[in-house]
Amino acid sequence: MRTKNNKKLIKLILAKSKQLCHSIKNKQSKKGRPPTYPNHIIIFALLLKILENLSLRDLEQRLKDLFPNAPDHTTLWYRFRKIENSYIKKLIHTTAREIMEVLKAKEFHCLIADGTGF
């Protein structure tokens, strides 16, 4: 799904990530520095990565187009790794349902091409 030209979808994802970031269980200890980037930016980046099927470096560039102070790909990888898998599955399903409601779509379609015989 391409979201480059769909500002309404970007705003929806950002609003949803702000809403859901409160339910992340932070495994922060009292040692070390506090995180530089808020949780909703990381959740937004994760959802954008999944929706647009981006690599971490492409995601970094996409975020720099949207935000003036965006995290780099190593920070994204580190913060993505700290999110629990069960939370990610729940996040994807709830957000996909809301995106389908906003876009008035009944289902997402996926096309897979196999080029092994060429």
- The per-residue DSSP string of 35-50 comes to PSS-HHHHHHHHHHHH
User: For residue 29, is it within any domain?
Assistant: no
Q: What is the domain range of residue 45?
A: 7-23+35-103
pLDDT tens by residue, 81-112 = 887 777 777 777 777 777 777 766 555 555 56
Number of domains in the chain: 1
C-alpha dihedral sign at 78, 82, 86, 87: negative
User: For residue 75, is it within any domain?
Assistant: yes
pLDDT tens by residue, 64-88 = 988 888 999 999 999 888 877 777 7
pLDDT at 35: 80
Strands (DSSP E) found in 1-118: none
User: For residue 96, is it within any domain?
Assistant: yes
Cβ atoms of 100 and 80 closer than 8 Å = no
